[in-house]
Amino acid sequence: MMLLQHNIKTLKEAYTIVIEDSKDELNSLGMIFVNPKEFLENFTNDYLIDSKNRIISKIIEFKSNENDHAQAEITWTEEDGDFYMLVTTVETKKYFYKILCWTLLENKADLKSDFLTISKSIQD
- In 3-state terms, what secondary structure has residue 74? strand
| This prediction's pTM | 0.86
- In terms of CATH architecture, what is 16-119? 3-Layer(aba) Sandwich (3.40)
For 1-124, list the strands marked E by DSSP: 14-22, 55-56, 60-64, 67-78, 81-91, 95-104
Per-residue pLDDT tens digits of the chain, which is 124 residues long:
444 444 444 566 899 999 999 999 999 999 999 999 999 999 988 777 666 688 999 999 999 999 999 999 999 988 889 999 999 999 999 999 999 999 999 999 999 999 999 999 988 7
